[in-house]
Amino acid sequence: VIPMSKAFKQADREAYITLGLYVFFFLWWTLFAFGLGNGDPEEYNYVFGLPAWFFYSCVAGYPVVTLLLWVVVRKFFADIPLDASQEEKEDEEKSA
pLDDT value at 38 more than 70: yes
SS3 letters across the chain: CCCHHHHHHHHHHHHHHHHHHHHHHHHHHHHHHHHHCCCCHHHCCEECCEEHHHHHHHHCHHHHHHHHHHHHHHHHCCCCCCCCCHHHHHHHHHHC
Average pLDDT over residues 18-39: 91
Average pLDDT over residues 16-45: 90
Task: Give the tens place of pLDDT for each residue, 40-84.
Answer: 888 889 999 999 999 999 999 999 999 999 999 999 998 887 676
**Report field, pTM of the whole predicted structure over 0.85:** no
Task: Give the tens place of pLDDT for each residue, 65-75.
Answer: 999 999 999 99
pLDDT band for 37, please (50, 70, 90 cuts): confident
Average pLDDT over residues 84-95: 61
